Amino acid sequence: MRVEVDVPKCVASGQCVMIAPDVFDQREDDGLVILLDDRPASEFHADVRESSVVCPAAAIRVIEK
């Protein structure tokens, strides 16, 4: 799995951080997404997929490999 984020699309809802805090974080100044790991370990894949689905801005892209 590879993960991409489109930071300009992010609306800083924080859903991804709540679901997958080992993969996503938020910037202090504006709350926009920070991708911590673009190739997360398999134990985080389900959470990353869920984060992608619930992201209100559709700013998370999951590429299955």
At residue 65, the pLDDT reads 81
DSSP label at 60? Answer: E
Residues in the chain, overall count: 65
Mean pLDDT (10-residue bins), the chain, 65 residues: 98 98 98 98 98 98 94
- Whether 48 and 23 have beta carbons less than 8 Å apart is answered as yes
pTM (predicted TM-score): 0.95
How far is residue 31 CA from its own chain's centroid?
A: 13
At residue 36, the pLDDT reads 98
Distances (CA, A) of 7 to 18, 47, 65: 17, 19, 23
Domains of the chain by start residue, with CATH: 2-63 (3.30.70.20)
**Which amino acid, residue 26?**
Q
